[in-house]
Chain A
C-alpha cells in the first residue's frame, strides 16, 4: 500500500545491495568523502533513477558500485553485494567474469567512450573476445542482432563513430552494454549530450529494451524531469549523501526534502501559467569542508537553527526515506501532512 510500484513486482529478487558505502578522494588537505554512507537495494528488473547536481557524488557512486574507481579515489568502507558477493573484496580476474556479462556500464559521453579510429563492429568484437569464447561468426551475428535491437541498421558495424549522429552513438554504446544481456546496466547521464527529441526517443528505447530483456537499470542524471516517466524508484543525492529515496510517483507528487522540491521546481514547463523560477540559489558545498549539521542547510529556505548544528538521520515517511529534521517525529501520516510539502504544490 505504501509502495505500489515495487509491490507489483513481487517476489522481488535482490540483485544488488549496497550497505554503508563510503568513497573518499585522497587530497593534500586530507580525505574528501565524496560518497558518504549510502545504502540502497535494487531488485531484478528495477529502474532506479539517481538525481542531483554536479559534484554531489552520483558518478563516484556508480564507479564504486562497478569497481571502476582509480586513485586517488578509493572505497573506504561499506560493502557492495552483487548476487550476494561483495564486489569490494573481489580480485580483478573475478571482476572480469562479472563485468559486461552480468553488469555493464554506459558512459556519459559516447563521443569520448568510443574509440574514434576503430569501427563500431571492431569495438563490439573486442568486448566479445575479452569476455567470452565466441567465434567470429557468432560475434558478428550477435553484434548485428544488438544493433538491430537499438534500431540501428547493422550496416553501421562498418562505420566509424564520427559517421554516426550523437543519438546513434549513444544507442551503439547501449547495444555494446547489452551484448551479453547483463542483469544490471549502469548508465551515467547517457542522454546529456543529446537534444530533446533524441533524448526522448533514447529514453523510450531504454525502457522498451528493459521490459523486453528484463535487466535492472541504475540511471544517473541531473535532470529530474527526465526520469519521471521511466524510473520505478528515485534516489536524490546531495553532497555525497542520500537525502531522499522513494518511489518515483511519491517523490514527484509529494517531495519531502527541500532539495528535492527545489530540483522539481528548477525547470520551466510548457504547460500551465508562466511562473518565475528561482532554481536553487548557491552551489553545492566543498566536500573537503562539508558544512556542520545538515549539508543542505546553507542553501535551505526552511533551515532552522538546529539544522546548522546537528546532522539529521534518515526518517521514514510512508516508505520514503528522507534526511530532514522536519520529518523526525513523523510516525503518523497526519503529522507529515501538517509539516507540509516543501514543494508547495498548488
Chain B
C-alpha cells in the first residue's frame, strides 16, 4: 500500500503483575497487526479491558512494546530514542483524551496549551505568526470567535467546547495521525454528533488520519472507514466499517452490535443478554479467548488460538467457526 502511514507488526505488550514469588504476566496486547492509511479514520472498538487503550499508549510511545514493531512512514519506532526524535514523533501523532474535564489545566487560559504546542512543534513559524496560527486552529475546530475563546478558562467552556480545545491543541502540531481515545464518551449525547462531525471534517480539510478508540459501535460506523475489533488483547475482526458492522462474522462483534441501544429497533425487551466480561489475560493457555462467552464454540476453540485470516473484500476474522460467506448466526446447528 503506497498511502500507508502507520503499520504494526506483531505488536505485543505484557505487564508483570503479582509479587516476586508469584510473578505472572498480564497479556494486555498480543500479536496485533494493522495499518492506518493517510487521511483514513480507523475505529478500534472493544469493551473496557480489551486492550484498546494499551494500543493507543503504544502508538503514542507512552509504553514501549514487549515484542513487535510499529512503523511510522516506514521507519521503525524502536529507533526513536533521542528527545528530539520523540518530540518530532509526538508532533506527528498527538493524542486527544477521554475526559475533557481533567485533561485541560484549569489554571491556564485556552491559549496556553495551544501556544505551547505551537512553540514546541512548529519551528517553521516565526514568533509573530504564532498568534495567527493559534486563532486559525481554534476556528478550524469551530470555536469562534477565536479572539474571545482564546482568553477563556476551561471552566467557562462546556464539555463539548473543552473537547474541541483538545482537538485544537492536537491540530496545532500539524499532525499526521490523531489518536482519539474515547473522545466523546464523557459528553452529552446531544453534542457528541458535533465532535464526531469535527473529526470527519478535520480529515477532509486537513488530511489528518484518526485512530478512533471507542466502545460505541454505532459512532464507529458513523465516521470510520475501517473498523478493528479487539477482544482480550487480540484483534478478532477487521475490515471496512460498513461491511463489518452490517455483516459481522466474529461472534464478539455480533455481541457488541447487539448491545447498542437502538430506538429505531422495535420496542420491547430484546433477546438474551450476556453478563460476561472480558477476562484478565494472565498467563493464557492456547485457545480462543472469547470461547467461554461464545455461543458457537466448538471443541477446537479451546485448543487452538484462531489466527486472523482473510475472508475477502479486505476483511479478516479470527474465528474457527465463522465462514467466509455465511454469517455465524445462520448456522448455530454447527455447534451441536
Contacts and interface: CB of A to CB of B under 8 A. Distances in A.
Contact of A249 (B221, B260, B267): B267
A264 B263 contact: yes
Nearest to A230: B269
Closest 6 interchain pairs by CB?
Answer: A279-B193, A268-B222, A277-B193, A195-B215, A200-B259, A225-B261
B190 A262 contact: yes
A5 to B, nearest CB: 10
| Interface range for A | 35 or more
B270 A270 contact: no
A222 interface: yes
Given A166-B48, A228-B261, A270-B260, A283 B158 contact: yes
Interface stretch (B5-13, B22-30, B271-279): B271-279
B219 A268 contact: yes
Contacts of A167: 277
A267 B189 CA distance: 7
B263 A201 contact: no
A38 interface: no
A268 B268 CA distance: 20
B259 A269 contact: no
B196 interface: yes
A200 B197 contact: no
B279 to A, nearest CB: 11
B188 A53 contact: yes
Interface string B111-137: 000000000000000000000000000
Interface string A175-206: 00000000000000000001111111100110
Interface of A: 53-54, 151, 165-167, 194-201, 204-205, 207, 222-226, 228-230, 248-249, 252, 262-264, 266-272, 274, 276-281, 283
Contact of A266 (B193, B221, B262, B277): B193
A229 B216 contact: no
Contacts, number: 125
A183 to B, nearest CB: 23
A245 B24 CA distance: 55
B48 A224 contact: no
B192 interface: yes
B267 A252 contact: yes
A279 B47 CA distance: 25
A252 B262 CA distance: 11
Contact of B261 (A200, A201, A263, A274): A200
Nearest to A207: B269
B194 interface: yes
A269 B190 contact: no
Given A196-B259, A196-B260, A270-B245, A228 B267 contact: yes
B20 to A, nearest CB: 21
What is the predominant secondary structure among interface residues of chain A facing chain B?
loop
A65 B256 CA distance: 36
A283 B193 contact: no
A297 B288 CA distance: 55
Contact of B192 (A198, A248, A267): A267
Given A269-B264, A270-B217, A53 B190 contact: yes
Contacts of A224: 189, 263
B49 interface: yes
Contacts of B261: 196, 199-200, 223, 225-226, 228-229
Contacts of B275: 151, 201, 205
16 contacts: A53-B188, A54-B188, A165-B48, A196-B215, A198-B48, A200-B258, A224-B263, A225-B189, A225-B261, A225-B262, A268-B219, A269-B218, A274-B242, A279-B192, A279-B193, A280-B190
A114 B213 CA distance: 28
B218 A197 contact: no
A72 B275 CA distance: 41
